Amino acid sequence: MHPVMTGRRVLLIIGGGIAAYKSLDLIRQLRKQGASVVPVLTRAAEEFITPLSVSALAAEKVYRDLFDLTDEAGMGHIELSRVADLLIVAPATAHMMARMAGGHADDLASTLLMATDKRVLIAPSMNVRMWQHPATQRNLATLRDDGVLVVGPNEGEMACGEFGPGRMAEVPEIIAAIGAAFGAGPLAGKHIIVTSGSTHELIDPVRYIANRSSGTQGTALAVALRDMGARTTFVTGPARVAPPDGVTVVRVKTAREMQEAVTNALPANAAIFAAAVADWRVEHEATEKMKKREGEVLHLTFAENPDILAGVARMAEGRPALVVGFAAETTDVLAQAQAKRARKGCDWIVANDVSPETDIMGGTENAVHLVTGDSVETWPRMAKAAVARRLATRIFAHLCTG
């Protein structure tokens, strides 16, 4: 159950595309979250899924035909278009988008979309060329101008064998978009800790050992989680980018301070460790500025820093339901990430190659692998904000669906 979804009514228009099968799971997940679903099938959708499976999953009558509704003693199309808090079109085919943009009202689905006074969310799904066609892009712009909300499409391999944007958004992404449309984010009521930035390990009062982390990915993640309604505690070491608004910011310098701040911020539903924490600190920090002495070579001895991620991941009591580490590597990224996941006891590792030629550390883009218990996903290179949104959606899926 989810506070934002409980008691909400969603009118789900299922269009005629191969992704219609995902809408069956969407119905199931929405009901699991406490929402009820009024399903509408277009004629073409019935070629892909059956009214019986839809009505069984929704536990509601399936509306299929405009003339089902001519009996004004029953529910008329105007009434049906307004019984729900939100209308969703999934999959929204190129043809459906064109009809919506053109204001057609020649079947039940299009008539409901014309007659409603509620918000409309579409999840486009089509062949990559159809999606990229100027007509579809024109229709998309028109629909956006009309206030229609859009989720997806995603890029990937398509049922037709081609590759590119056009795949319908996954069910957790659609649910997240529905939550956002309801005003409160889908992560409302969840507390998530994000660590970010670098740490400064002091040598003396004016010198320290640092690393090149800019804090961009961690900050983007805090923004994405905040935007999905999570109460976010952002524990940040020194960073080049400013911390976001709307989150609880705890500024720290050293790894030990970061550990203390994380401990104080618990309990949490999830903890995401995006900070680049120094593994070692200078064992004996000088209390006064160290002086150069003729002919003397300086030797520093190091002590190991606490591993904040491993500490939280191995908590016997009160462990967050999801603990995520990051692995910045320059060689054997995947093997290192898998070993790190096991070593640290965390649930997921987000791994990336930070070799200088990738321009990732301190840059605006990231190319990551998501290593979970049973799978490794390689995401295409994209903006760090896009990585953050995708990860936030996965965090939502883990915490709130499944």
Among 29-37, 92-100, 223-231, 269-277, which window interacts with ligand C5P (CB under 6 A)? 269-277
- Is residue 325 within the footprint of ligand C5P (CB under 6 A)? yes
Residues 243-262 that bind ligand C5P (CB under 6 A): 255
Between 9 and 253, name the residue whose CB sits nearer to ligand C5P.
253
Using CA atoms, how far residue 69 sits from 88, 161, 202, 256, in Å, is: 20, 39, 74, 67
Which of 249, 254, 260 lies closest to 194 in space, CA to CA? 249
C-alpha span between 77 and 68 (Å, rounded):
9
* 396 lies in the binding site for ligand C5P (CB under 6 A): no
* Residue 195 backbone dihedrals phi, psi, to 5 degrees: -100, 150
Contact between residue 60 and residue 37 where contact means Cβ atoms under 8 Å apart: yes
- By beta-carbon proximity to ligand C5P, the closer residue of 58 and 271 is 271
* Residue 213 engages ligand C5P in binding (rule: CB under 6 A): no
Between 303 and 322, how does the x/- string for binding to ligand C5P read (CB under 6 A)? --xxxxx-------------
Cβ proximity to ligand C5P, 137 vs 264, nearer residue: 264
Of the candidates 229, 271, 235, which has an alpha carbon nearest to the alpha carbon of residue 251?
235
326 binds ligand C5P (CB under 6 A): yes
Residue from 14, 143, 327, 337 in contact with ligand C5P (CB under 6 A): 327
Kindly state the tokens that stand for 114: 């014309």
Residue 277 binds ligand C5P (CB under 6 A):
yes
Using DSSP bridges, classify how beta strands 36-41 and 207-209 pair: parallel, antiparallel or unpaired: unpaired
Which tokens is 124 given?
């486009």
Q: Does 123 bind ligand C5P (CB under 6 A)?
A: no
Nearest distance, CB of residue 175 and ligand C5P, angstroms: 27
| 348 makes contact with ligand C5P (CB under 6 A) | no
**Per-residue contact flags (x/-) with ligand C5P for residues 163 to 202, judged by CB under 6 A:** --------------------------------x-------
391 binds ligand C5P (CB under 6 A): no
201-204 and 154-157 strand pairing:
unpaired
Q: Any contact of residue 359 with ligand C5P (CB under 6 A)? A: no
Amino acid at 121: L
* Exposure letters 199-217 (e unless 16+ CB within 10 A, then b): bbbebeeeebbebebbbbb
Question: What is the distance in angstroms between the CA of the first residue and the CA of the last residue of the chain?
Answer: 12
Q: How far is the CB of 338 from ligand C5P (least distance, A)?
A: 13
Reference 116, options 143, 145, 78, 64; nearest CA is 78
Q: Which residues are catalytic?
A: 160
Indicate which single residue of 20, 275, 337, 361 sits in contact with ligand C5P (rule: CB under 6 A): 275
Query: Does the footprint of ligand C5P cover residue 352 (CB under 6 A)?
Result: no
The string of DSSP letters for 309-370 reads HHHHHT-SSS--SEEEEEEEESSSHHHHHHHHHHHHT-SEEEEEE--GGG--TTSSEE-EEE
Q: Quick one: 230 or 255, whose CB is closer to ligand C5P? A: 255
401 binds ligand C5P (CB under 6 A): no
The least CB distance from residue 303 to ligand C5P, in Å, is 12
Chain positions contacting ligand C5P, by CB under 6 A: 195, 255, 273, 275, 277, 279, 305-309, 325-327, 340
